Chains A and B, each alone.
Chain A
Amino acid sequence: MATQLLLGDEALAQGAIDAGLSAAYAYPGTPSTEITEHILRSPEVRAGEVVCRWATNEKTALEAALGASYAGKRAMASMKHVGLNVAADPFVNAAISGAHGGLLVNVADDPSMHSSQNEQDSRLYADLALVPCFEPSDQQEAYAVPALAFDLSETYRIPVLIRLTTRLAHSRATVDVGGRRPQNPLSRPDQPERFILLPAIAKRSYERLVSLQPDFIRESEASSLNRLSKDGDRALGIVACGIAHNYLLEVTNGTPGHPVLKVGQYPLPVRDVEWLVEHCGRILVLEEGYPYVEAKLRGLPPRSAPAIHGRLTGDVPRTGELSPDAVAMAIGLGALARRATSSVPAPRPPALCPGCPHADTCKALAEVLASRRDSARVFSDIGCYTLGALPPHGVINTCVEMGASITMAHGASEAGLRPAVALIGDSTFAHSGMTGLLDCVNAKADVTVIIVDNLTVAMTGGQRSAAENRLVSICRGLGVDEAHIRVVEPHPRNHKENVAVLDEEIRYAGTSVIIAQRECIQTAKRSARRGTQGSQE
Chain B
Amino acid sequence: MKRDIILAGVGGQGLLALAAVLGQAARELGLHLKQAEVHGMAQRGGVVQSHVRFSDRPVHSDLVREGTADLVLSLEPMEALRYLPYLKPDGALVSDTRPVRNIPEYPNIDRILAELRTISPHRLVDATALADRAGSPQASNLVVLGAGFPFLGLPMEVLEDGIRAVFAGRADSVIASNLRGFALGVEWAQAAS
Chain A contact residues, CB within 8 Å of chain B: 3, 5, 30-31, 114-115, 167-168, 170-174, 243, 246-247, 249-251, 254, 323-325, 328, 335-342, 344-354, 384, 387, 391, 458-462, 522, 533, 535
> B121 interface residue, CB < 8 Å from A?
no
> B87 interface residue, CB < 8 Å from A?
yes
Q: Assess A351 versus B46: contact at CB under 8 Å? Given A336-B67, A337-B67, A338-B67.
A: yes
Chain B residue nearest in CB terms to A5: B27
- CB atoms of A345 and B66 under 8 A apart: no
- CB atoms of A324 and B61 under 8 A apart: yes
In the bound complex, what is the Cα–Cα distance between A307 and B81 (angstroms)? 41
- CB atoms of A31 and B39 under 8 A apart: yes
> B85 interface residue, CB < 8 Å from A?
yes
Within 8 A of A (CB), among B56-81: 58-68, 78-79, 81
- CB atoms of A337 and B89 under 8 A apart: yes
List of 8 A-B pairs having minimum Cβ-Cβ separation, nearest first: A350-B46, A338-B67, A250-B61, A171-B36, A336-B67, A171-B62, A115-B40, A249-B60
Within 8 A of A (CB), among B68-110: 68, 78-79, 81-82, 84-87, 89, 102-107
For A340, list chain B residues within 8 Å (CB): 85
18 CB-based A-B contacts, threshold 8 Å:
A167-B62, A174-B27, A174-B32, A250-B65, A325-B66, A338-B66, A339-B84, A342-B115, A344-B81, A345-B78, A350-B45, A384-B43, A458-B42, A459-B43, A460-B42, A462-B42, A522-B42, A535-B169
For A172, list chain B residues within 8 Å (CB): 23, 33-36
Shortest distance in angstroms between B57's beta carbon and chain A's nearest beta carbon?
9
> B44 interface residue, CB < 8 Å from A?
yes
For A338, list chain B residues within 8 Å (CB): 66-67, 85-86
- CB atoms of A339 and B87 under 8 A apart: yes
Shortest distance in angstroms between A137's beta carbon and chain B's nearest beta carbon?
9
In the bound complex, what is the Cα–Cα distance between A339 and B87 (angstroms)? 8
Count B interface residues, CB 8 Å. Answer: 53
For B105, list chain A residues within 8 Å (CB): 346
> B140 interface residue, CB < 8 Å from A?
no
- CB atoms of B67 and A115 under 8 A apart: no
In the bound complex, what is the Cα–Cα distance between A249 and B65 (angstroms)? 13
> B192 interface residue, CB < 8 Å from A?
no
For A328, list chain B residues within 8 Å (CB): 65
The SS class assigned to the B binding surface is loop
- CB atoms of A323 and B43 under 8 A apart: no
In the bound complex, what is the Cα–Cα distance between A340 and B46 (angstroms)? 23
- CB atoms of A170 and B37 under 8 A apart: yes
Residue of B51, B87, B106 touching A346 (CB-CB under 8 A) = B106
Q: Of residues B33, B65, B82, which shows the largest number of chain A Cβ atoms within 10 Å of its Cβ?
A: B65
Residue of A341, A344, A346 touching B103 (CB-CB under 8 A) = A346
> B10 interface residue, CB < 8 Å from A?
yes
For A337, list chain B residues within 8 Å (CB): 67, 89
Contact indicator per residue, chain B 1-44, by CB within 8 Å of chain A (1) or not (0)? 00000000011000000000001100100001111111111111
> B134 interface residue, CB < 8 Å from A?
no
In the bound complex, what is the Cα–Cα distance between A461 and B44 (angstroms)? 11
- CB atoms of A325 and B107 under 8 A apart: no
Q: Assess A342 versus B63: contact at CB under 8 Å? Given A5-B33, A172-B23.
A: no
> B133 interface residue, CB < 8 Å from A?
no
Residue of A167, A251, A384, A533 touching B41 (CB-CB under 8 A) = A384
- CB atoms of A348 and B104 under 8 A apart: no
In the bound complex, what is the Cα–Cα distance between A114 and B48 (angstroms)? 11
For A351, list chain B residues within 8 Å (CB): 43-46, 102
Shortest distance in angstroms between A82's beta carbon and chain B's nearest beta carbon?
15
For A341, list chain B residues within 8 Å (CB): 84-85
Shortest distance in angstroms between A352's beta carbon and chain B's nearest beta carbon?
6
> B191 interface residue, CB < 8 Å from A?
no
Q: Assess A171 versus B37: contact at CB under 8 Å? Given A325-B66, A461-B42.
A: yes
- CB atoms of B41 and A115 under 8 A apart: yes
In the bound complex, what is the Cα–Cα distance between A342 and B74 (angstroms)? 16
Chain B residue nearest in CB terms to A137: B60
